[in-house]
Amino acid sequence: MTYAHRAFIVLWKDVLTERRSKAALNALLFFSLLLLFIFQFTLGGDRERLTAALPGLLWLGFVLSGLVGLGRTFLLERENDCWDGLLLTPGDKSAIYLGKVAGNLLLMLIVEVILLTLFALFFNVDVGRALPALGLVLPLGTIGFAAVGTLFAAMTAHVRAREVLFPVLLLPVVVPVLLGSVRATDAALAGEPLSAVAQWLQLLVAADVIYVVAGLLTFDALLEG
């Protein structure tokens, strides 16, 4: 069984589980909707201020939903005594990591698209012309977030205070991704060409590569015992 095949099986298992129960997706979507309301209530009715803060609010929404979603990456395995199953997987266990990252990426992208749509609707923002650019920026940012998040989720799965420790570990590390994504999203929504934020995009790509490679190399060490 090839490496890619094993990674795909992990992804497919999670997709199937999710499709049947829809637990994570429903909860995250509802959470996103609530975030929208909270942003509106806390930031008041000043339309200009809201529109100006939109890229930041968007990514704030993505990050907060991401924290909830990513933190649950290994929940099923842990709760159903399947952790040992992961340990006994033959071959390079980083395939599991890749499958999990792909699953998280998919989940987060779905939530992001829906949140973006909700933002456009509720805050009356025209995102149409920015869609091609956003189609590049959102995945670039989300990959980095998912890569580190999945790695840290495997760790915090075994810690008692995981709800606190997971964000505490993850958020400082993903600051570069957050900064780059918000800047690039800002440019996209303002109608600027992406070449204006080229160095930010390069940073995102570099971050993504570094995080994924680090995850592939170290995931094995997290799974022992």
Partner 1 sequence: MSRILGWLAALGLAAGLVMAFGVAPREATQGNVQRIMYLHVPTVLVAYLAFVVVLVASIAYLWRRDPAADRLAHASAEVGVLFTGLTIAAGAIWGKPTWGTWWTWDARLTSVAILFVMYLGYLLLRGMIEDRERGARYAAVVGIVAALDVPLVHFSVYWWRTLHQPPSLLKPGPASMPDGILAALLVNVVSFALLYAYFVAKRVTILRREGEVLA
> Does 88 interact with partner 1 (rule: CB under 8 A)?
no
The per-residue b/e assignment along 113-131, b for 16 or more CB within 10 angstroms, e otherwise, is ebbbebbeeebebeeeebe
Q: What distance in Å separates the CA atoms of residue 97 and residue 215, rounded to the nearest whole number?
A: 7
Tokens of 221: 């060490």
Binding residue (CB under 8 A) for partner 1 from 96, 203, 212, 216: 203
Number of residues that bind partner 1 (CB under 8 A): 32
> Does 155 interact with partner 1 (rule: CB under 8 A)?
yes
Give the count of beta carbons closer than 10 Å to the beta carbon of residue 148. Answer: 25
> Does 97 interact with partner 1 (rule: CB under 8 A)?
no
> Does 52 interact with partner 1 (rule: CB under 8 A)?
no
Would you say 117 or 218 has its CB closer to partner 1? 218
> Does 206 interact with partner 1 (rule: CB under 8 A)?
yes
Concatenate the DSSP letters of all residues of 10-36 into one string.
HHHHHHHHHHHH-HHHHHHHHHHHHHH
> Does 225 interact with partner 1 (rule: CB under 8 A)?
yes
Q: Least CB distance from residue 208 to partner 1, whole Å?
A: 10
> Does 128 interact with partner 1 (rule: CB under 8 A)?
no
